């Protein structure tokens, strides 16, 4: 699933793809720089609601919004946004419409 998302992000010309890890206890799959805004994105292939790694990143760096790509529908809960995997091909457009918190 990560390779699929990486391929889609590369096709969108989003720029370099980075990831973040913290002492092997947390890992965020993609750290994107879009319009000079740092955007953490976690990819989940299942319906698991766990976003422990995103929360760990959030506590350390305080991004305005944290994102998860998963099979679940579009959903926002305060500073957390889930984007369905099928929408990854328009992720850049979606992120431009969401103001930072």
Give yes or no for residue 4 having a pLDDT over 90. yes
Q: Answer for the pair 38, 61: CB distance below 8 angstroms, yes or no.
A: yes
- Whole-angstrom distance, CA of residue 41 vs CA of residue 20: 10
What is the pLDDT at residue 43?
A: 96
Alpha helices in the chain (DSSP H): 2-11, 52-61, 91-97
SS3 of 17-30: CEEEEECCCEEEEE
pLDDT at 101 over 60: no
- Report pLDDT digits (tens) over 46-74: 988 889 999 999 999 999 999 999 999 99
Contact call for residues 67 and 81 (beta carbons, < 8 A)? yes
Query: Is the full-model pTM beyond 0.95?
Result: no
CATH 3.40.50.11540 fits 2-97, yes or no: no
Q: How confident is the model at residue 100 (pLDDT cuts 50, 70, 90)?
A: low
Pairing of strands 75-77, 37-43: unpaired
- Domain extents in the chain: 2-97
């Amino acid at each position: 699933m990560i390779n699929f998302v990486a391929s889609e992000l590369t096709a969108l010309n989003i720029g370099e793809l980075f990831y973040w890890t913290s002492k092997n206890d947390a890992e965020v799959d993609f750290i994107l720089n879009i319009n000079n805004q740092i955007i953490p994105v976690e990819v989940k292939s299942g319906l698991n609601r766990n976003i422990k790694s995103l929360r760990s990143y959030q506590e350390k760096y305080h991004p305005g919004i944290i994102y998860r790509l998963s099979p679940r529908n579009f959903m926002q809960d305060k500073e957390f946004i889930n984007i369905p995997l099928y929408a990854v091909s328009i992720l850049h457009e979606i992120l431009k419409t969401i103001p930072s918190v």
